[in-house]
Protein backbone atom coordinates (compact mmCIF):
# COMPACT_ATOMS: atom_id res chain seq x y z
CA UNK A 1 0.00 0.00 0.00
CA UNK A 2 1.32 3.52 -0.80
CA UNK A 3 2.31 5.54 2.22
CA UNK A 4 0.93 9.05 2.44
CA UNK A 5 2.35 12.07 4.16
CA UNK A 6 0.61 14.74 6.22
CA UNK A 7 0.07 17.01 3.21
CA UNK A 8 -1.99 14.28 1.45
CA UNK A 9 -4.11 13.81 4.53
CA UNK A 10 -4.68 17.56 4.80
CA UNK A 11 -5.58 17.79 1.12
CA UNK A 12 -8.09 14.95 1.42
CA UNK A 13 -9.76 16.51 4.47
CA UNK A 14 -9.88 19.88 2.77
CA UNK A 15 -11.39 18.39 -0.43
CA UNK A 16 -14.06 16.57 1.60
CA UNK A 17 -14.95 19.80 3.41
CA UNK A 18 -14.99 21.83 0.17
CA UNK A 19 -17.05 19.30 -1.81
CA UNK A 20 -19.55 18.88 1.04
CA UNK A 21 -20.05 22.66 1.11
CA UNK A 22 -20.54 22.75 -2.67
CA UNK A 23 -22.99 19.83 -2.47
CA UNK A 24 -25.19 21.66 0.04
CA UNK A 25 -25.21 24.81 -2.11
CA UNK A 26 -26.07 22.76 -5.22
CA UNK A 27 -28.54 20.16 -3.93
CA UNK A 28 -30.21 21.92 -0.99
CA UNK A 29 -29.97 25.67 -1.69
CA UNK A 30 -30.12 25.31 -5.50
CA UNK A 31 -27.51 28.07 -5.81
CA UNK A 32 -24.21 26.43 -6.86
CA UNK A 33 -21.00 28.14 -5.74
CA UNK A 34 -18.80 26.69 -8.52
CA UNK A 35 -19.22 25.29 -12.04
CA UNK A 36 -19.86 21.56 -12.51
CA UNK A 37 -16.48 21.28 -14.21
CA UNK A 38 -14.72 22.71 -11.15
CA UNK A 39 -16.74 20.42 -8.86
CA UNK A 40 -15.90 17.38 -11.01
CA UNK A 41 -12.21 18.36 -11.06
CA UNK A 42 -12.05 18.43 -7.24
CA UNK A 43 -14.09 15.21 -7.00
CA UNK A 44 -11.71 13.42 -9.39
CA UNK A 45 -8.67 14.67 -7.46
CA UNK A 46 -10.18 13.28 -4.23
CA UNK A 47 -10.93 9.97 -5.94
CA UNK A 48 -7.37 9.84 -7.25
CA UNK A 49 -5.89 10.42 -3.75
CA UNK A 50 -8.21 7.80 -2.24
CA UNK A 51 -7.17 5.26 -4.86
CA UNK A 52 -3.51 6.02 -4.23
CA UNK A 53 -3.86 5.92 -0.44
CA UNK A 54 -6.86 3.71 0.48
CA UNK A 55 -6.48 4.43 4.21
CA UNK A 56 -7.41 8.05 3.40
CA UNK A 57 -10.85 6.89 2.17
CA UNK A 58 -13.12 8.21 4.92
CA UNK A 59 -16.79 7.18 5.28
CA UNK A 60 -17.94 10.82 5.01
CA UNK A 61 -16.20 11.26 1.64
CA UNK A 62 -18.49 12.38 -1.23
CA UNK A 63 -16.99 9.52 -3.28
CA UNK A 64 -18.54 6.99 -0.88
CA UNK A 65 -22.14 8.17 -1.09
CA UNK A 66 -24.63 10.09 -3.16
CA UNK A 67 -24.85 13.88 -2.69
CA UNK A 68 -27.96 14.44 -0.58
CA UNK A 69 -30.82 16.80 -1.46
CA UNK A 70 -32.97 15.78 1.55
CA UNK A 71 -35.18 18.57 2.80
CA UNK A 72 -36.71 18.51 6.29
CA UNK A 73 -39.91 20.19 5.03
CA UNK A 74 -41.13 17.05 3.24
CA UNK A 75 -41.84 13.56 4.63
CA UNK A 76 -39.08 11.01 4.14
CA UNK A 77 -39.63 7.77 2.25
CA UNK A 78 -37.28 4.80 1.81
CA UNK A 79 -36.53 3.88 -1.82
CA UNK A 80 -37.16 0.27 -2.80
CA UNK A 81 -33.93 0.29 -4.86
CA UNK A 82 -31.12 2.78 -4.10
CA UNK A 83 -30.94 5.73 -6.48
CA UNK A 84 -27.28 6.40 -7.21
CA UNK A 85 -24.92 8.71 -9.10
CA UNK A 86 -23.07 7.75 -12.27
CA UNK A 87 -19.43 7.04 -12.89
CA UNK A 88 -17.96 9.53 -15.34
CA UNK A 89 -15.86 9.66 -18.49
CA UNK A 90 -14.66 12.89 -20.10
CA UNK A 91 -13.42 11.64 -23.50
CA UNK A 92 -14.81 9.23 -26.07
CA UNK A 93 -11.74 7.01 -25.66
CA UNK A 94 -12.42 6.71 -21.90
CA UNK A 95 -15.99 5.68 -22.70
CA UNK A 96 -14.89 3.15 -25.34
CA UNK A 97 -12.30 1.75 -22.94
CA UNK A 98 -15.06 1.26 -20.34
CA UNK A 99 -17.18 -0.67 -22.89
CA UNK A 100 -14.20 -2.85 -23.76
CA UNK A 101 -13.35 -3.48 -20.09
CA UNK A 102 -16.97 -4.36 -19.33
CA UNK A 103 -17.17 -6.80 -22.24
CA UNK A 104 -13.97 -8.47 -21.09
CA UNK A 105 -15.29 -8.70 -17.52
CA UNK A 106 -18.46 -10.54 -18.59
CA UNK A 107 -16.87 -12.34 -21.59
CA UNK A 108 -19.69 -11.26 -23.89
CA UNK A 109 -20.48 -8.83 -26.69
CA UNK A 110 -22.85 -6.18 -25.37
CA UNK A 111 -25.46 -3.78 -26.65
CA UNK A 112 -24.90 -0.21 -25.45
CA UNK A 113 -27.69 2.36 -25.24
CA UNK A 114 -26.57 5.99 -25.20
CA UNK A 115 -29.13 8.45 -23.84
CA UNK A 116 -29.00 12.17 -23.21
CA UNK A 117 -28.13 13.07 -19.63
CA UNK A 118 -30.95 15.47 -18.84
CA UNK A 119 -29.84 18.21 -16.45
CA UNK A 120 -32.85 18.26 -14.18
CA UNK A 121 -33.75 16.52 -10.95
CA UNK A 122 -34.08 12.84 -10.39
CA UNK A 123 -37.55 11.57 -9.47
CA UNK A 124 -38.82 8.08 -8.71
CA UNK A 125 -42.49 7.46 -9.47
CA UNK A 126 -43.95 4.56 -7.51
CA UNK A 127 -46.99 2.83 -9.02
CA UNK A 128 -49.07 0.22 -7.20
CA UNK A 129 -51.58 -1.85 -9.15
CA UNK A 130 -51.30 0.74 -11.92
CA UNK A 131 -51.89 3.84 -9.75
CA UNK A 132 -49.32 6.52 -9.00
CA UNK A 133 -49.01 6.39 -5.21
CA UNK A 134 -45.79 8.29 -4.52
CA UNK A 135 -43.25 10.52 -6.22
CA UNK A 136 -39.97 10.71 -4.35
CA UNK A 137 -36.79 12.75 -4.84
CA UNK A 138 -33.41 10.99 -4.93
CA UNK A 139 -32.55 12.33 -1.45
CA UNK A 140 -29.46 10.57 -0.16
CA UNK A 141 -30.07 7.65 -2.52
CA UNK A 142 -31.62 5.46 0.18
CA UNK A 143 -34.20 7.88 1.56
CA UNK A 144 -35.90 10.60 -0.48
CA UNK A 145 -38.55 13.26 0.07
CA UNK A 146 -42.19 12.59 -0.76
CA UNK A 147 -43.16 15.31 -3.27
CA UNK A 148 -46.19 13.49 -4.72
CA UNK A 149 -48.62 16.42 -4.66
CA UNK A 150 -46.14 18.63 -6.53
CA UNK A 151 -45.17 16.00 -9.09
CA UNK A 152 -48.84 15.31 -9.81
CA UNK A 153 -49.06 18.82 -11.30
CA UNK A 154 -46.86 17.64 -14.21
CA UNK A 155 -49.47 16.83 -16.83
CA UNK A 156 -47.36 14.34 -18.80
CA UNK A 157 -47.03 11.97 -15.83
CA UNK A 158 -49.76 9.30 -16.00
CA UNK A 159 -51.70 8.98 -12.74
CA UNK A 160 -53.04 5.60 -13.79
CA UNK A 161 -51.47 3.08 -16.17
CA UNK A 162 -53.31 0.86 -18.63
CA UNK A 163 -52.09 -2.26 -16.76
CA UNK A 164 -52.42 -2.94 -13.00
CA UNK A 165 -48.65 -3.16 -12.51
CA UNK A 166 -46.53 -2.37 -9.47
CA UNK A 167 -43.29 -0.69 -10.43
CA UNK A 168 -40.84 2.14 -9.80
CA UNK A 169 -40.17 4.45 -12.75
CA UNK A 170 -37.16 6.74 -12.75
CA UNK A 171 -36.98 9.93 -14.66
CA UNK A 172 -35.67 13.45 -14.77
CA UNK A 173 -37.94 16.42 -14.13
CA UNK A 174 -36.74 19.48 -16.03
CA UNK A 175 -37.79 22.92 -17.16
CA UNK A 176 -37.56 23.64 -20.91
CA UNK A 177 -35.05 26.41 -21.74
CA UNK A 178 -37.55 28.89 -23.21
CA UNK A 179 -39.88 28.57 -20.20
CA UNK A 180 -36.91 29.12 -17.91
CA UNK A 181 -35.94 32.36 -19.69
CA UNK A 182 -39.46 33.76 -19.35
CA UNK A 183 -39.95 32.75 -15.70
CA UNK A 184 -36.47 33.69 -14.56
CA UNK A 185 -36.74 37.19 -16.01
CA UNK A 186 -39.66 37.78 -13.60
CA UNK A 187 -37.79 36.54 -10.51
CA UNK A 188 -36.46 38.86 -7.83
CA UNK A 189 -33.50 36.56 -7.29
CA UNK A 190 -32.94 34.78 -10.60
CA UNK A 191 -31.67 31.22 -10.76
CA UNK A 192 -28.40 30.32 -12.48
CA UNK A 193 -29.97 27.70 -14.75
CA UNK A 194 -33.18 25.71 -15.47
CA UNK A 195 -32.06 22.85 -13.22
CA UNK A 196 -31.88 25.06 -10.13
CA UNK A 197 -35.28 26.59 -10.85
CA UNK A 198 -36.84 23.14 -11.39
CA UNK A 199 -35.26 21.83 -8.17
CA UNK A 200 -36.52 24.84 -6.20
CA UNK A 201 -40.00 24.43 -7.69
CA UNK A 202 -40.43 20.75 -6.88
CA UNK A 203 -39.80 21.57 -3.21
CA UNK A 204 -42.33 24.38 -2.96
CA UNK A 205 -44.84 23.97 -0.17
CA UNK A 206 -47.87 24.98 -2.21
CA UNK A 207 -48.68 22.67 -5.12
CA UNK A 208 -50.69 25.43 -6.80
CA UNK A 209 -47.45 27.44 -7.07
CA UNK A 210 -45.75 24.41 -8.62
CA UNK A 211 -48.57 24.04 -11.13
CA UNK A 212 -47.70 27.51 -12.53
CA UNK A 213 -44.26 26.26 -13.59
CA UNK A 214 -44.39 24.17 -16.80
CA UNK A 215 -42.16 21.32 -15.61
CA UNK A 216 -41.62 18.33 -17.88
CA UNK A 217 -40.29 14.81 -17.46
CA UNK A 218 -38.37 12.20 -19.43
CA UNK A 219 -38.39 8.71 -17.91
CA UNK A 220 -35.50 6.31 -18.49
CA UNK A 221 -35.67 3.27 -16.15
CA UNK A 222 -38.36 0.94 -14.83
CA UNK A 223 -38.18 -1.65 -12.04
CA UNK A 224 -41.18 -3.98 -11.85
CA UNK A 225 -42.15 -5.89 -8.74
CA UNK A 226 -41.99 -9.64 -9.26
CA UNK A 227 -40.94 -11.64 -12.30
CA UNK A 228 -40.98 -10.04 -15.76
CA UNK A 229 -40.05 -11.18 -19.27
CA UNK A 230 -37.83 -8.17 -19.97
CA UNK A 231 -34.38 -9.14 -21.15
CA UNK A 232 -33.06 -5.72 -22.03
CA UNK A 233 -33.28 -1.96 -21.58
CA UNK A 234 -34.80 -1.42 -25.04
CA UNK A 235 -37.83 -3.57 -24.10
CA UNK A 236 -38.24 -1.57 -20.89
CA UNK A 237 -38.19 1.75 -22.76
CA UNK A 238 -40.70 0.35 -25.21
CA UNK A 239 -43.02 -0.83 -22.41
CA UNK A 240 -42.78 2.46 -20.52
CA UNK A 241 -43.67 4.27 -23.71
CA UNK A 242 -46.72 2.01 -24.19
CA UNK A 243 -47.87 2.96 -20.66
CA UNK A 244 -47.93 6.58 -21.84
CA UNK A 245 -44.68 7.83 -20.27
CA UNK A 246 -42.55 10.43 -22.06
CA UNK A 247 -39.43 8.73 -23.38
CA UNK A 248 -36.67 10.82 -24.92
CA UNK A 249 -36.36 9.65 -28.53
CA UNK A 250 -32.92 11.28 -28.83
CA UNK A 251 -30.99 8.15 -28.02
CA UNK A 252 -28.78 5.67 -29.82
CA UNK A 253 -28.15 1.95 -29.72
CA UNK A 254 -24.78 0.43 -30.57
CA UNK A 255 -23.54 -3.12 -30.99
CA UNK A 256 -20.35 -4.42 -32.63
CA UNK A 257 -22.13 -4.32 -35.98
CA UNK A 258 -24.65 -1.71 -37.13
CA UNK A 259 -27.05 -4.15 -38.84
CA UNK A 260 -27.61 -6.05 -35.60
CA UNK A 261 -28.25 -2.77 -33.75
CA UNK A 262 -30.82 -1.74 -36.39
CA UNK A 263 -32.59 -5.09 -36.14
CA UNK A 264 -32.80 -5.00 -32.34
CA UNK A 265 -34.00 -1.41 -32.26
CA UNK A 266 -36.67 -2.23 -34.88
CA UNK A 267 -37.79 -5.32 -32.92
CA UNK A 268 -38.31 -3.15 -29.82
CA UNK A 269 -40.42 -0.77 -31.94
CA UNK A 270 -38.24 2.19 -30.96
CA UNK A 271 -37.02 5.12 -33.00
CA UNK A 272 -33.43 6.08 -32.34
CA UNK A 273 -30.04 6.03 -33.98
CA UNK A 274 -28.58 2.55 -34.56
CA UNK A 275 -24.87 2.11 -35.13
CA UNK A 276 -21.71 0.12 -34.53
CA UNK A 277 -19.21 0.74 -31.73
CA UNK A 278 -16.99 2.33 -34.38
CA UNK A 279 -19.63 5.09 -34.75
CA UNK A 280 -19.74 6.03 -31.06
CA UNK A 281 -17.03 8.70 -31.21
CA UNK A 282 -18.67 10.52 -34.12
CA UNK A 283 -22.11 10.20 -32.46
CA UNK A 284 -20.73 11.90 -29.34
CA UNK A 285 -19.11 14.64 -31.39
CA UNK A 286 -22.28 15.32 -33.36
CA UNK A 287 -24.43 15.26 -30.23
CA UNK A 288 -22.12 17.65 -28.42
CA UNK A 289 -22.63 20.22 -31.17
CA UNK A 290 -26.40 19.57 -31.15
CA UNK A 291 -26.59 20.39 -27.44
CA UNK A 292 -27.18 24.13 -27.83
CA UNK A 293 -30.10 23.60 -30.24
CA UNK A 294 -32.06 21.33 -27.88
CA UNK A 295 -35.08 22.76 -26.06
CA UNK A 296 -33.78 21.46 -22.71
CA UNK A 297 -30.44 21.34 -20.91
CA UNK A 298 -28.29 18.24 -21.03
CA UNK A 299 -24.96 17.95 -19.23
CA UNK A 300 -23.71 14.89 -21.03
CA UNK A 301 -24.73 11.48 -22.31
CA UNK A 302 -25.26 8.23 -20.44
CA UNK A 303 -24.02 4.92 -21.84
CA UNK A 304 -25.87 1.89 -20.42
CA UNK A 305 -25.49 -1.83 -20.87
CA UNK A 306 -28.62 -3.07 -22.64
CA UNK A 307 -28.70 -6.65 -21.30
CA UNK A 308 -30.43 -6.88 -17.89
CA UNK A 309 -28.73 -10.14 -16.82
CA UNK A 310 -25.35 -8.47 -17.38
CA UNK A 311 -26.51 -5.48 -15.30
CA UNK A 312 -27.31 -7.87 -12.42
CA UNK A 313 -23.96 -9.55 -12.84
CA UNK A 314 -22.07 -6.22 -12.74
CA UNK A 315 -24.02 -4.76 -9.82
CA UNK A 316 -23.36 -1.49 -7.98
CA UNK A 317 -20.77 0.32 -5.89
CA UNK A 318 -22.03 2.50 -3.01
CA UNK A 319 -21.90 5.42 -5.45
CA UNK A 320 -22.90 4.20 -8.95
CA UNK A 321 -24.04 1.25 -11.05
CA UNK A 322 -21.19 -0.58 -12.81
CA UNK A 323 -23.38 -1.04 -15.88
CA UNK A 324 -23.59 2.64 -16.82
CA UNK A 325 -21.15 5.45 -17.51
CA UNK A 326 -21.83 9.15 -17.97
CA UNK A 327 -19.96 11.04 -20.65
CA UNK A 328 -19.80 14.55 -19.22
CA UNK A 329 -19.75 17.70 -21.34
CA UNK A 330 -17.85 20.68 -20.09
CA UNK A 331 -20.32 22.82 -18.12
CA UNK A 332 -21.52 26.03 -19.82
CA UNK A 333 -20.21 28.13 -16.89
CA UNK A 334 -16.73 26.71 -17.48
CA UNK A 335 -17.03 27.37 -21.21
CA UNK A 336 -17.96 30.98 -20.49
CA UNK A 337 -14.95 31.37 -18.20
CA UNK A 338 -12.64 29.93 -20.82
CA UNK A 339 -14.14 32.17 -23.48
CA UNK A 340 -13.62 35.30 -21.37
CA UNK A 341 -10.03 34.27 -20.70
CA UNK A 342 -9.53 33.80 -24.46
CA UNK A 343 -10.91 37.27 -25.14
CA UNK A 344 -8.63 38.89 -22.60
CA UNK A 345 -5.47 37.36 -24.06
P1 LIG B 1 -24.56 12.43 -11.82
O2 LIG B 1 -23.87 13.40 -12.70
O3 LIG B 1 -23.74 11.39 -11.17
O4 LIG B 1 -25.69 11.72 -12.65
C5 LIG B 1 -26.66 10.89 -12.05
C6 LIG B 1 -27.97 11.48 -12.35
O7 LIG B 1 -28.14 11.69 -13.74
C8 LIG B 1 -29.12 10.56 -12.00
O9 LIG B 1 -29.43 10.60 -10.62
C10 LIG B 1 -30.22 11.11 -12.86
O11 LIG B 1 -30.93 12.05 -12.11
C12 LIG B 1 -29.51 11.87 -13.96
N13 LIG B 1 -29.86 11.46 -15.32
C14 LIG B 1 -30.22 12.33 -16.31
N15 LIG B 1 -30.48 11.69 -17.44
C16 LIG B 1 -30.30 10.36 -17.19
C17 LIG B 1 -30.44 9.20 -17.99
N18 LIG B 1 -30.80 9.25 -19.27
N19 LIG B 1 -30.18 8.02 -17.41
C20 LIG B 1 -29.79 7.93 -16.10
N21 LIG B 1 -29.64 9.01 -15.30
C22 LIG B 1 -29.90 10.22 -15.84
O23 LIG B 1 -25.43 13.26 -10.83
P24 LIG B 1 -25.23 13.56 -9.32
O25 LIG B 1 -24.86 12.38 -8.56
O26 LIG B 1 -26.45 14.32 -8.91
O27 LIG B 1 -24.12 14.65 -9.17
C28 LIG B 1 -22.95 14.64 -9.58
C29 LIG B 1 -22.83 15.81 -10.56
O30 LIG B 1 -23.60 16.95 -10.17
C31 LIG B 1 -21.40 16.25 -10.55
O32 LIG B 1 -20.66 15.51 -11.49
C33 LIG B 1 -21.50 17.71 -10.86
O34 LIG B 1 -21.43 17.89 -12.26
C35 LIG B 1 -22.85 18.11 -10.35
N36 LIG B 1 -22.67 18.81 -9.07
C37 LIG B 1 -22.27 20.09 -9.16
C38 LIG B 1 -22.06 20.83 -8.01
C39 LIG B 1 -21.62 22.27 -8.12
O40 LIG B 1 -21.34 22.89 -7.11
N41 LIG B 1 -21.56 22.82 -9.33
C42 LIG B 1 -22.24 20.23 -6.73
C43 LIG B 1 -22.64 18.90 -6.69
C44 LIG B 1 -22.85 18.19 -7.87
ipTM metric: 0.95
- Ligand 1 pocket residue status of 77, Cβ below 6 Å: no
| CA dist list (Å): 149 to 122, 203, 208, 222 | 16, 10, 9, 21
**Residue among 54, 112, 29, 58 at smallest CA distance from 283:** 112
199: enclosing H helix or E strand: helix 194-202
For 110, phi then psi, to 5°, come to: -120, 160
With a 6 Å cutoff on the Cβ, whether 50 touches ligand 1 is: no
CA 85 – ligand 1 centroid, Å = 6
Which CATH superfamily groups domain 1-64? Helix hairpin bin (1.10.287.610)
Is 172 annotated for ligand binding?
A: yes
**Dist CA 98 CA 12 (whole Å):** 27
Q: How far apart (Å, rounded) are the C-alpha atoms in residues 251 and 307?
A: 16
User: Where along the chain do its domains lie?
Assistant: 1-64, 65-344
Residue 26 beta carbon below 6 angstroms from any ligand 1 atom = yes
Q: Is 103 annotated as a binding residue?
A: no
Looking at the chain, how many residues does it have?
345
Over the chain (345 residues), the average pLDDT of each successive run of 10 is 85 96 90 91 95 92 90 94 95 96 98 98 97 97 97 97 97 98 92 93 91 96 94 98 97 96 96 96 95 96 98 95 94 47 31
pLDDT at 304: 98
User: Into which CATH architecture does domain 65-344 fall?
Assistant: 2-Layer Sandwich (3.30)
CA distance 113 to 247: 13
Taking phi over 0 as left and psi of -120 to 50 as alpha, with beta for the rest, 315 belongs to: left
Helix axes 280-290, 92-106, angle to 10 degrees: 140
Nearest CA residue ID for atom 41, ligand 1: 36
313-to-73, 103, 236, 266 alpha-carbon distances in Å: 38, 12, 18, 26
Q: What pTM value is reported for the model?
A: 0.92
Nearest in space to 237 (alpha carbons), one of 223, 221, 225, 226 = 221
In the annotation, is 152 catalytic? Answer: no
**Any ligand 1 atom below 6 A from CB of 22:** yes
Amino acid sequence: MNTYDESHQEEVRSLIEQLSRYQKAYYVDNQPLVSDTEYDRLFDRLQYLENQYPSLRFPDSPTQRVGSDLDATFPEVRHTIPVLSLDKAYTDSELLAWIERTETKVSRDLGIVIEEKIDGISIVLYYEEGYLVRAVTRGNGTIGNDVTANVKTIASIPLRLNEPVTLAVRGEVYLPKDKFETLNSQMEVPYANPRNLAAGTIRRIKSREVAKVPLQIFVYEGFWEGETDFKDHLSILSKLSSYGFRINSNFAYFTKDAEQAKRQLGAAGLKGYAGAYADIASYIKEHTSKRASLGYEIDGLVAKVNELDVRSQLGYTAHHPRWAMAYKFESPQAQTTLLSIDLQV
